[in-house]
Amino acid sequence: MNKLLLTTLLLGGSTLLPMHSSLLQAQKLPATYRPAKTEMYRKGWIDFNKNGIKDIYEDPTATVDARIEDLLGQMNMNEKTCQMVTLYGYKRVLKDALPTPEWKQQLWKDGMGAIDEHLNGFQQWGLPPSDNENVWPASRHAWALNEVQRFFVEETRLGIPTDFTNEGIRGVESFRATNFPTQLGLGHTWNRSLIRQVGRITGREARMLGYTNVYAPILDVGRDQRWGRYEEVYGESPYLVAELGIEMVRGLQHNHQVAATGKHFIAYSNNKGAREGMARVDPQMSPREVEMIHVYPFKRVIREAGMLGVMSSYNDYDGFPIQSSYYWLTTRLRGEMDFRGYVVSDSDAVEYLYTKHGTAKDMKEAVRQSVEAGLNVRCTFRSPDSYVLPLRELINEGGLSEAVINDRVRDILRVKFLVGLFDAPYQTDLKGADSEVESLANQAVARQASLESIVLLKNDNNTLPLDASTIRKIAVCGPNADETSYALTHYGPLAVEVSSVLDGIREKLNNKAEVLYTKGCELVDANWPESELIDFPLTPAEQEEIDKAVQQAQQADVAVVVLGGGQRTCGENKSRSSLDLPGRQLNLLKAVRATGKPVVLVLINGRPQSINWADRFVPAIVEAWYPGSKGGEAVADVLFGDYNPGGKLTVTFPKTVGQIPFNFPHKPSSQVDGGKTPGGEGNMSRANGALYPFGYGLSYTTFAYSDLQLSSSTITPQQQAQVRCRITNTGQRAGDEVVQLYLRDVLSSVTTYEKNLAGFERVHLQPGESKEVCFTIDRKHLELLNLNNEWVVEPGAFKVMVGASSEDIRLNGTLTVADYGTTAPNSPTKANPVSASTNEEAVKQVFDTNLSTVWQGNKGDYITFALQSGATVADVSIAFGRENALPAEFEIQLSSGGGQFLTVYSGRVTEYNKLLTYRFKETAASDLRIVLGADRVGIAEVKIKQLKQE
């Protein structure tokens, strides 16, 4: 932070009256900010209390704890209580952009804990960004926040700086700043180093603008896809949320440039029926699920990244509001997790104790409960007096002790000292703010994040990438084709230039082909969301616009339909009752597909959607999430092959809301039930399986997995094991593969998840290139919460699985955890080349030369065989077994990597317990799969000459 040095030079007089706007516009801001009262600013320290003596709290060489105690000892109760509240910024609560003489009569004459969202441009939901002259450019914004800070440093008794807080989950919330994909999109990059870059840029730009505390990352784990805030989570895996959260915090807090405040603590993201608003209470979860899913990320991010802030959520759990829970805010957060920052309340969390939860009789009692529980700073869109005055009454009446108040203020001061507010309270490099905020270098990182967040969901017959040289006309339609508002939602930059998908396509083709465009339909129809329940007929205007899209598609060589969601359908307080495409979007897609022209579906949305019809009938589908200001360029790069998509799903796509809860991780067999045979004569009564599972994503190239090795087959609970495998790009294009490691505790004292994500690595490979990937397994990957609510590693076998998704497992091994004192052999163990979708322990039966022993499965189940490197295969010999001896269908599929299996043989078994050879066109492949087409069918024996050896 060498550009944030304190200067002792004089800017002008000591008055805090703002200059007239016309004078400010005419006067060019200096390159360096200089505060006014020069006698305060000494060489190497600041005389905050104006006594002419270097007090301990003013001494940068003293320890943080010593400085805290010295300052705390000088504070009176008015000053302490003012540190325990937030003043919301300009046009939210504070009516002034800059200090006025009246501030000396306001509550904050005694200081202020934090000022939130001041001059960041946000006014209210649905209003355009503020046009106040101090909002932009960046240098003017930094100057204005310095002027506000100068009031607290120069005009209050002890000169305690305020903490300027702001949102920042997709770039710092400012009129302009580097605009990244929303957090859900960032999660789909699976790229730790990229997320740290995003955090570092967000924190740096925040500090250059004058902010010192950023409300990010969101550490909620997605559980219900209907939830409006799904766009804000990294994903459904607590491990992935923790890993990316750690990187984001390390980036944000780099050199303590800002404090990072994670949210929402705790158990916030699984509300009953995904309902929001006043119904955000008592998520429907067991205590063990709360610990394994929701507590896990906070615990790791606080311990491993030293996160300095936590936002307390306003839900309750098991009947106890989190905001008033000493157990959650003190016993767990500070005691167990060793949190040493400060807790800020989310919105009306304090007020909800009496207005919603009914556990406090009035505001004063709500304040008492919150402070005793562990709340440091109340933050909501209300006057700070509404909190501080009842707080002071409680202290005067003996309802809260001075010792409790001192504890809460210590935490606030600690954060302020750590981020350097007492050593460099001003952002002095005004010229640097203009050059750094939204710089070209930072925008290049944002563009890379947009590219890496995109997931290829379907690509039949290599529909993508499109060949621009063969396209004469391209038809583009859909409500999101020329839309940009998805990049300008709350909690991020508000007024940056945004590239739409239509912009990206036009720029890519550069007048070499004609781009036909019509909207096709609105994002939602006039009756939405009731139209999700009732089939209203199309209006003439709606039909006319769909017809126009059809006419353009008929003229074109290919049609790109851009659908999904937006600010009307997703976001805070915008949960849904359906996951289908809203409004008339499916009508539009069907009509364009009916033209017979090649169709590419691009989705821009903030949650998974049940696109069953598109998955069945549209040849290519690209999921872009909310891809940030560079999203249109990034989508065009993917469509035309200038970038090979490598994102993988961090969320599950259900086929219907009727399957919810349907997510990852899940307990064994919890997401499949009922029969598997459809139709009138079948036994299937509901849709089974995911539309797209966790970890899924395709590529324009293919990848082979091989050579799984464990550094040791047996470890004790405190030891580590390395899992190594080799990934090879077997296709013709350079590309990224997200290699995923999963673990399964085979036998445990409590039920554990079917697969736990335990490692991931995004690997870039040139055609033909191979790379070894290494994962380390240690205690945190093996622990479970036992019957006594103790985190333990239980001895026994752990299944080790490496694959391209949670369902596309390519390599298998076994790691044994032994009791202490057991000798752990160091000889590496190689992977089993055979895996199965079910009854994996029985796969050895297909190689025992005994036709009476079988591996058995039901319709849709399969066995996968890894083949030798560079193998070509033209036949396989199989002996089936079935008790009822009725005919059964089956398929033989081949894969050359990337998670795509193509059927090369469809057959019908009529002879059982006999080894028969099935032939097909010779094909290069890395894996062979036998898929059952009926229930209770067994495979007794398989012979493949090209089988990879263990």
Edge to edge, the sheet with strand 721-729 lists 770-777, 721-729, 703-710, 829-830
Please choose, from the candidates 772, 579, 587, 600, the residue with its C-alpha nearest in 3D space to the C-alpha of residue 690.
579
CA pair distance 274, 938, nearest whole angstrom = 42
Opening angle at CA 668, ends 662 and 670, nearest 5: 35
- How many angstroms separate the Cα of 894 from the Cα of each of 751, 756, 811, 902? 35, 27, 16, 5
**Greatest distance between any 2 Cα atoms in the chain:** 99
Rounded mean pLDDT for each run of 10 residues along the chain, 950 residues in total = 32 35 55 88 96 97 97 98 97 94 97 97 84 94 97 97 97 96 97 98 98 98 94 97 98 97 94 72 82 96 97 92 97 96 96 95 98 97 96 97 98 98 97 97 98 98 96 98 91 94 97 96 97 95 98 98 96 92 98 98 97 98 97 98 98 95 91 83 89 98 96 92 97 97 95 96 98 95 93 95 96 92 54 81 87 88 90 95 87 82 92 94 92 90 89
Query: Pairing state of beta strands 114-116 and 163-167?
Result: parallel
Residues catalogued as catalytic: 346
Cα 219 to Cα 299: distance, rounded to the nearest angstrom? 10
Query: Directed axis angle between helix 440-453 and helix 192-209, to 10°?
Result: 140
Cα distances (angstroms) measured from residue 657 to each of 226, 235, 261: 8, 18, 33
What pLDDT, on a 0 to 100 scale, did the predictor assign at position 822? 54
Q: What is d(CA 816, CA 258) in angstroms, rounded to the nearest whole number?
A: 43
- Residues paired with residue 563 on neighbouring β-strands, in sequence order: 603
Q: 110: which 2 tokens?
A: 């005694």
Confidence (pLDDT) at 607: 96
Nearest 10 degrees: Cα torsion 215, 220, 224, 226 = 0
Tokens 């994962």 sit on residue: 775
Rg (CA), the chain: 30
pLDDT of residue 830: 62
d(CA 672, CA 675): 9
CA-CA distance, 686 to 666, in Å (whole number)? 19
pTM for the structure as a whole = 0.88
CB 514, CB 476: distance < 8 Å: no
* pLDDT value of residue 899: 67
Q: How many residues does the chain have?
A: 950
- pLDDT at site 377: 98
Run of H or E including 774: strand 770-777
pLDDT value at residue 301: 97
Q: What is the reported pLDDT for 3?
A: 35
